[in-house]
Amino acid sequence: MILLVLRFAWFSHGSLVLCWRAAVWRISAIAIILGVVFSIAPVRAHALEKYDRPMPGAGENIKNEESQSGVGADHAGQNQPEKTAVSDSLSIPDWLWLSGQANFIAQVHPAFHAMYSGEHSLRPEGENARSRVLTLYTGLRLTRTTEVLFDIEEAGGTGLSQAFGLGGFTNLDVVRNPALTTDPYVARIMIHQIIPFSDTRVPAVRNPLSLATSLPERRLELRVGKFSTVDFFDVNAIGSDSQHQFMNWAVVNNGAYDYAADTRGYTFGALIEYYDRNWVLRFGEMLMPRIANGIQLDWDPTRSRAENLELEYHHNALLDREGVIRILYYVNHANMGSYSEALQAFQRGQDPTPDVTAHRHQGTVKYGFGLNLEQELTEGLRAFGRGGWNEGHHETFAYTEIDRSVAVGADLKGDRWGREQDQIGVAYVINGLAKDHRRYLAAGGLGFILGDGALHYGTERIVEGYYRLHLWRGIAVSPDFQWITNPGYNRDRGPVYVFGLRLHLEEVLGRTF
């Protein structure tokens, strides 16, 4: 299958470009349909996309591959159906991974109060929007410690108001540049190398980012290629999966984490992770886009790059249940503009309106921090929290216009009401802007996400709730509701009520149990 996919691609200017869109649609559909027909157990697949990594100190923290359900584990793992005679008889080799997923989201908001609107405002009149993401995941284990991973994706549709007007936008699946084509593209292509430092092995759950069923307890993991920065950084088992959990940008990720990515959310880079019994240290060096929210990456790392460092610690200190603490630090170097310089030029009469893109300097540095928490409270009930901060003097370049963010939330499995594969979740987020950033917007400046033409500043506050209703095998439907106060940090607009519905399909070939 990998050879078939590679046949449809060629290398051009440092990136793989697909030439037959229809072929990828067919391959993705085949992967999903085969799983449904032959009842091959579903597994969570990430849409932009994160996976719950196995606990690093598996000996004491992972109960076992079939029953792990706590924080830091694959919560969906409990929801897998029992093996059937059909799936057992297929004898899929463990050196191969093939899976497909399709995620469809529809959202609508009724008309809301707005004293004024600008070029980059959430439109106050009622509107609706639909999006889709289809992904084909493939993997090949070359040796016990070496893997090649290759994923193809297709994204289409649009977001409410073309994804303008909110720091915490309502749908993570939306591509922020409506001018991009809907042709399939290579989402990930990487080499994954494991270097063991101990003979003791711990169980691991196979997934599209790691094919092994067991791993050395102490080890290095190296990755080189194309991936999403948030495949590995700022991962959270309760709030990182827009296919099964929350949809809002500021819930699924740390909103103040301006992580390296092109418009679609991917980049090229190198990652090194050290795993010990109950902690992980990871460092990644990634490419930044040439311009803010741009599709083209800057391939000169001497002037443009992103360094990411994260420490992850697993514990049982609270309620004698599993918990995770992650501390993140990142530094971006890019051709970024300064909000204060743009304001000064406007005040001198040099620019008719503030324009941060007219005051960019190559090699500008932007940095930030993040705190990421997970905690199992009772059997089936988990809570999470995130805090994020960036310096906010320089333009938002890759993710979204949030300089400070605090998010808390929880999810609960449905076995308490006789629906073991259902899940309900709720989250609350407060987003804010740095002083320079909000003064720039108040003077009529535009960011790549925000711009009401004026600003009566207030923190943007979001409540989101969802219910995941499992229908059959790898098929689930999730109604979603978001209540947004001060959309785009503007007290003169809102509140906004957003109603959503998600249909998700996924199936997996090549998974052993």
How is 214-230 classified by DSSP, letter by letter? EEESSEEEEEEEEE-GG
Listed in order, strand segments (DSSP E) in 69-164 are: 96-109, 127-143, 146-157
- SS3 label, residue 287: coil
What does the pLDDT read at residue 22? 53
The whole-angstrom separation of Cα 86 and Cα 59 is 32
What does the pLDDT read at residue 180? 79
Using an 8 Å Cβ cutoff, are 63 and 482 in contact?
A: no
Tokens in use for 488?
Answer: 């785009």
The whole-angstrom separation of Cα 202 and Cα 404 is 38
What does the pLDDT read at residue 19? 40
What does the pLDDT read at residue 46? 36
The whole-angstrom separation of Cα 28 and Cα 156 is 15
Q: Cα dihedral sign for 333, 339, 340, 345?
A: positive
Tokens in use for 84?
Answer: 């059937």
What does the pLDDT read at residue 72? 60
Q: State the pTM of this model.
A: 0.84
The whole-angstrom separation of Cα 236 and Cα 243 is 14
What does the pLDDT read at residue 342? 96
- Rounded to whole angstroms, what are the CA distances from 366 to 9, 290, 391? 36, 15, 7
By C-alpha distance, which of 464, 7, 399, 483 is closest to 242? 464
Using an 8 Å Cβ cutoff, are 276 and 57 in contact?
A: yes
Q: For residue 495, say if its preceding peptide bond is cis, omega within 30 degrees of 0.
A: yes
List beta partners, residue 375. 323, 383
Phi first, then psi, for residue 346 (nearest 5°) are: -65, -45
For the chain, domains (ranges, CATH) are 2-509 (2.40.160.10)
Using an 8 Å Cβ cutoff, are 487 and 16 in contact?
A: no
By C-alpha distance, which of 134, 226, 148, 160 is closest to 187? 226
The whole-angstrom separation of Cα 139 and Cα 192 is 10
List beta partners, residue 305. 333
For the chain, what is the radius of gyration of the CA atoms? 22
Using an 8 Å Cβ cutoff, are 468 and 424 in contact?
A: yes
Residues in CB range of 499: below 8 A, 6 or more apart: 107, 108, 109, 479, 480, 481
* Helix 339-347 vs helix 435-442: crossing angle, to nearest 10: 40
Q: How many other CB atoms are found less than 10 A from the CB of residue 282?
A: 20
In tens digits, the chain (513 residues) has pLDDT values of 332 333 333 333 333 333 445 554 555 554 544 444 333 333 333 333 343 433 333 333 323 333 334 566 433 333 333 333 333 334 568 899 999 999 999 999 999 999 999 999 999 999 999 999 999 999 999 999 999 999 999 999 999 999 999 999 999 999 877 677 788 999 999 999 999 999 999 999 999 999 999 999 999 999 999 999 999 999 999 999 999 999 999 999 999 999 999 999 999 999 999 999 999 999 999 999 999 999 999 999 999 999 999 999 999 999 899 999 999 999 999 999 999 999 999 999 999 999 999 999 999 999 999 999 999 999 999 999 999 999 999 999 999 999 999 999 999 999 999 999 999 999 999 999 999 999 999 999 999 999 999 999 999 999 999 999 999 989 999 999 999 999 999 999 999 999 999 999 997 654 432
Using an 8 Å Cβ cutoff, are 270 and 287 in contact?
A: no
- Nearest-10 Cα torsion for 160, 162, 166, 167: 130
Q: Can you tell me which residue has the tokens 């980012």?
A: 209
The whole-angstrom separation of Cα 435 and Cα 438 is 5
- SS3 label, residue 379: coil
The whole-angstrom separation of Cα 369 and Cα 404 is 10
The whole-angstrom separation of Cα 241 and Cα 423 is 13
Using an 8 Å Cβ cutoff, are 449 and 396 in contact?
A: yes
The whole-angstrom separation of Cα 193 and Cα 189 is 13
Q: How many other CB atoms are found less than 10 A from the CB of residue 318?
A: 12
